[in-house]
Each structure stands twice: as C-alpha cells, then as structure tokens.
Amino acid sequence: MEVTFEGEEQDPDVRFVRGTGKYVDDIKLEGMLHLHVVRSPYARARVLSVSGGITGNELKATMESVGEDAGGKSAVSFPALSASYVNYVGQPVAAVLGLDRYDAADKAEEVDVQYEPLRPVIDPEKALASEPIHPGMENNLVAAAELGKEFEVKAPIEIEETLRMTRISPNPMETKGMVAVYDGSNLTVYASTQSPFSWREGLASSLGLKEESVRVVQMDTGGGFGSKGGIYPEYVVAAYAAMKTKRPVKWSETRYENILSTNMGRGVRGKMKVYADREGKLKGLKADILVDVGAYPLGGGGWTARWIASQLVGPYSVPRAYATAKAVLTNKVNMGPYRGAGRPEAAFFMERMMDRLADETGVDAAEVRLRNATSRRTTSPLGMEAPPSKQLFMKALRAFKYSSRKKKENVGLSFFMLIPAAYGGESAKLAVKGGRVKVWMGGSSHGQRHDVFAKSLVSEELGIPQDVIDFQHTDTRSISGGVGSWGSRTAILGGGAIVEASRSLKAAAKKKLGKKYSPARLLEGEYEAEAFFKPKDLLNTLGANMASARLTKEGNAVVDEVVSFYDAGKVLNPFMLESQITGGVAQGIGEIMYEQAIYSEDGQLLTASIADTGVIHATEMPKSVVMTAASRSTLPHGAKGVGESPTIGVPPAATRALEVLLGRRFTTLPIEPEKLWATDVAGVKEVRVR
C-alpha cells in the first residue's frame, strides 16, 4: 500500500490551481483508520486515571527529537500521551481510532479521564517566583545565559525600555497531519512537513525503531513557517497506532487543534538599556531577555533566549554590551520556531531603541542608524559576526527615497541582520536515466517553489533544457541524508548542494565519455550524484525596510506601504523572491497589528479560531515594494538567505511609522486596532517623535 506521484503534473502551480495537489488529508488507502486525539481541557492537572483508547499507560513513548531543536534535549520529559500530569490545554492524553473522522470523534466519548486540576503558571514574568510546573524541578527556569561583560559607563543619554512580542500561532493554511503505514517490519509515513529527516529521526527514537526501518515521504505541504520542522506527540501516537493495528492510520487535525497544540512563536520580553552620546553614537547596550517556552522546552526553549541575546547588536557597532537571557516554563503549549525564530525579537528590541535614541537626541532616525553602522566586518561584544553595514544602509536609504518621503509622509525605518540557519548543511541528489534528470533535495518546499531554482541551477550547470528535469518530493528512501527547510537556508544550502551534485555528475560523465562528452550524451547515459553542502564562510546578510502609515477617513491608523531592500546575494529567481518577501510582509503586518495568542488566567486559549488569531486578509494588506542589493555571496551560486527577512524587518519599521503618525509610543506587539484609532484626526502628539 503506497502513495505514488506517478504521472504527477510537474508544475506545482498548475497542480494547485486544478486542485490536484496531493496533501496528506487527500490520501485514501484501503482499510485506513482515522485517529482522534483526546486532549486535556486543563492547563495544569494531575491525571488521576485514564481509560479507553490508546493511553500513556500503554504507549510510554516520550518526545526525543524535534527537528530544528535537534540536540536540545531537556531534563523534562515530554510524553506522547500523558498518564501523570498535563501541562497545557490541548495536551494529548489518549487516542481512538474510527473508520472515518466522524466515527473516530464518536469513539472519543468512550475515553474517560479523571483530572485533579492544579493552579497553572501562565504569566512568564511571574513564572520564576511560582512553584515549578513539573514535579522534581526546583523552579521554572530551563535556560539561563550571560553574554558579553558587565560594564559601567558614563553617558549623557541613557534610555531604558521594556519591550514585548506576544505569542502568535504560525497558522499554515494546511493544518498538521500524516498517514502511517506499517507492513510488519517497516514504517512508512506520508507527512506534511518541512523536514522528512527530522521526522525519521524523531519517530525512530520515540518509538525505539531503527532509522532504516522508517521512511518519511513529504507530500505537498500547505505551509509551515517553522511549525512543521519537528515532530509532535500526535505523530508518534499515529505511527504507533498503525504499528499496533497493522492498518494505515491517518491523523489530520482541525484548525482548533492546530492552534491549541502547535508550537507558538515569539512570547518574548526584552528589557533594553542603551547608553549613547548626544550625537546618537552608542556607547553601550544592556539587555535582559525572557522567553516563555511553554510547558516543555523542546520546540526551541533550550536555545532561544541565548540566541536572541546573541544577535541584539544587529548590524551596528557598539563598544560594550552585556546581556542576560532566561527561558521559563509556563502551562501553555510549547514555544517553537515561527518565521524568523528569535531574529525578529532581537531586531524589534534593538530597532525600537534606535528610534528612541533618535527621539532623545534629536538626530534623524536614519542618521542615528548610519552613525552606528560600520564599514568593516565586526564581531559584537555579544559574540555575533556581522558584515560591513554602512554602505548597504546608505544604498537602502537612496532606494527608499527616504529624505524626500520623510518630509511628506509618516515613515519608519528598520535595519537588521539576517543570520541564516546554515548549520548542518544540506543535501541534494541527481539521477540521470532514460534521457531525464531527477532531482531530490534533503529539505524541500512547503510553498517556496524550490523546484524553480533547482531546475534552473541544474540546467545551467549541465547545459540541458529544464523540461527534461523532474523535481521529486523529498523521500528519506531516495536520498541518504538531509536536514530540512527553515531558517532562510534552502536556497543557499540546498542550492549549493545542487550545484555540487551537478558538478560531480558532470565530472563522472566526462570521465566516462572523455572527448565525446556533451550534455546530450550525458542524458543518454545513467549517472547518479549526491552532495552534502556545508559552507565555510559567513553567510549573515543585511536588510532594511521602510514603512509609511496614514489615517483612513474613518480615523484608523494603517500601514500604507512597506518597502523592502534586502541583500539577497545573487537572486536565483526575482519573481519567486518578490513573492516570498511580500508574503513575509503580510505576516509582519499581521504581527504588529492583530496577531496574538490570548490566554485566560486559568490558561484557556481565548484565541482558538483562525479568525481570532488575527491573520490578515486581502483588505488589510499594504502595498509591498521589493528591491534587492545584488552582492554575490561566496557560495558557488552566489545566493544569500531571504525567507525570514520580512518578518524581521517589517515589524520595527511599520511600528515606527504608526508611532510617528499617531505620536504614541508602542512597546508591545501586537499594537491592537483599538490603540490605532486617532482620537484627534489632526494628530495629538503625546510623545515627541521625529
């Protein structure tokens, strides 16, 4: 019993407009059962008893590996199904199987769970003083780091601010899901994923299987934004159910379940203090970062606080900096990567301070940034390397027509560094047979159309037409290793791997054919090449945004236009790049205006429908203008990362534009529409902003 992609339309756009994409929930296999998960209605409770269906008394698996966080093992064990304590609303406690989703939901009635509710810890700022949520822990602190050196400095300008980015739901349009098939010795999983290899590793370790006996195939995947990189308890339970029943098992969650049980992004507080001279030149930076990691520190909880702190200085140069970073447990679903994953937090905190600095010194916001940018490669006192930044920002200002627009409009700027997730490298494989070339990547598209640059790179390298190249779904059986698609990494690393694999394939053909070698001859033979590409150089890149804001005739402040100017290296496909960036602009605007997860005091999620979570509609989207600086990277194809740039750069620029328009200081995201209503359309300036 197998899902195949035989005869599939190669162009995903054509496939998708016809409705013939193959997503997990479209799979229908003979004898397939549907899994329904029974979840905790409490944010914190002791499970007194649980009976009916598959429970944690039967399946004693814990979550071992979660993709992007691989290696970040925690002392706290996260059970696939909890039989002792539950720690967030929506945590799985049991699962039942039915012939279809209705039947499975009916069967859930047969599950009986007795809980003793406990007082939950919800506010991360109170979590350190609260009793530990997990038995056996001393407190709720799960990670603490100190970066740079404590310092004292005399400065005429000292500004302190507490900034917050509220938790948000990633909300890919396709919810999470999978189909598991077990043949008695091998487990095959059809997945909606950003990383089949993380799934393979995670499922094998949670279920005590050998990785060789687990195959993960990526289906068409309806978005991820970080949330589909790692594995979740439900995946382990569904795979177990298939192994137990020897029947295919589908798990496909509802949106309500997706919002309850998917790792959320952000949820970070930054206490910032900058020291500067009267000309706006930074003399020092201090910061204290607090991350709300939720109930189990597995989605990134182990590293996020330090990661944010490490990049606070961004593209600037500062003589001294000191940061402390903590991550705390609360009774909420885990925190995890969401487009940008720590980068937007760092940029928002720093860029808000640059705007404050402009206001306090009376120096223009662009000039303040320029005065702190550098013309050389630097390593910040917090340990992060940055490329020379001054030139790029000057180019951006010219491209924005900043000086003239600033006179007429309410504009905000941002300047930031994008650190792509280059660690671990990435793989690609090529196989020539029967006149056609098949291409696989270790981590592939969940909406980015990696096939477009993959085909064009292979075609360029081998001198063959694109229409003989077939881009394949990532399948752990077809390629020997891989990492995954996240952190602005696939065009740079996967692209690099494609170039390397193409070159070694070409070399093999040349060796075999000698002087007779030609691209046409290459296609007549049979060749295979796989490459695992690991870059050695600094791939950190820079970007800037300008946003403008205006009042509608009803008196609402809105972001009117967002201009992006990013150093994307050699642009592999301008059309796709623009499309990616504009999508990220929408997420950035959603994040500053509306998007947030709101919890009640007892830990119930109040924003539990996609409408409540605040994602924006076509009517709320500002104009997006995309520009790039063409500076090749040192990689064979010259590319740099770009996918996360807009969620890093747009929030601070757009927040500033609204601040300038309304004359109100904004320190917490989302700003919320009710705070964006002009009480006086003429504009009462409550704070002095320039």
Q: Shortest Cβ distance from residue 595 to other proteins (Å)?
A: 11
Name 42's Cβ contacts closer than 8 Å, sequence gap at least 6: 86, 89, 115, 117, 118, 120, 603
Of 196, 270, 315, 447, the one binding other proteins by CB under 8 A: 447
Cross-strand partners of 413: 546
Of 414, 476, 545, 624, the one binding other proteins by CB under 8 A: 624
Residue number with CB closer to other proteins (118 or 610): 610
Of 256, 388, 438, 475, the one binding other proteins by CB under 8 A: 256
What is the DSSP code (8-state) at residue 680?
S
Phi/psi of residue 30, each to 5°? -60, 130
102 interacts with other proteins by CB under 8 A: yes
606 interacts with other proteins by CB under 8 A: no
Q: Shortest Cβ distance from residue 174 to other proteins (Å)?
A: 4
Residue number with CB closer to other proteins (487 or 622): 622
Cβ-count burial 17-49 (b if 16+ within 10 Å, e if not): eeeebbbbbebebeebbbbbbbbbebbbbebee
18 interacts with other proteins by CB under 8 A: yes
What is the DSSP code (8-state) at residue 84?
S
Binding mask 385-404 for other proteins (x = CB under 8 A): --------------------
Phi/psi of residue 569, each to 5°? 70, -150
From CA 281, how far away is CA 317, in angstroms rounded? 9
Count of residues that bind other proteins according to CB under 8 A: 55
Of 79, 443, 484, 583, the one binding other proteins by CB under 8 A: 583
From CA 404, how far away is CA 398, in angstroms rounded? 10
From CA 518, how far away is CA 463, in angstroms rounded? 9
28 interacts with other proteins by CB under 8 A: yes
Cβ atoms 386, 315 nearer than 8 A: yes
Of 511, 619, 682, 688, the one binding other proteins by CB under 8 A: 619
What residues numbered 209-248 form the site for other proteins, per CB under 8 A? Answer: 220-223, 225
336 interacts with other proteins by CB under 8 A: no
Of 327, 497, 615, 635, the one binding other proteins by CB under 8 A: 615
Of 130, 171, 317, 410, the one binding other proteins by CB under 8 A: 171
From CA 47, how far away is CA 113, in angstroms rounded? 7
423 interacts with other proteins by CB under 8 A: no
Count Cβ atoms within 10 A of the Cβ of residue 228 and give its class: 0-12 exposed, 13-18 middle, 19 or more buried.
buried
Of 255, 271, 405, 477, the one binding other proteins by CB under 8 A: 255
Cβ atoms 544, 431 nearer than 8 A: no
What residues numbered 646-665 form the site for other proteins, per CB under 8 A? Answer: none
51 interacts with other proteins by CB under 8 A: no
Q: Which amino acid is at 368?
A: V
Q: Which stretch binds other proteins (CB under 8 A): 117-125, 398-406, 528-536, 575-583?
A: 575-583
Strand pairing class (557-567; 541-551) = antiparallel
Q: Shortest Cβ distance from residue 173 to other proteins (Å)?
A: 4
Residues in contact with other proteins by the rule CB under 8 A: 11-21, 23, 25-26, 28, 100-102, 171-175, 220-223, 225, 254-256, 446-449, 575-576, 579-580, 582-587, 609-611, 615, 617-619, 621, 623-624
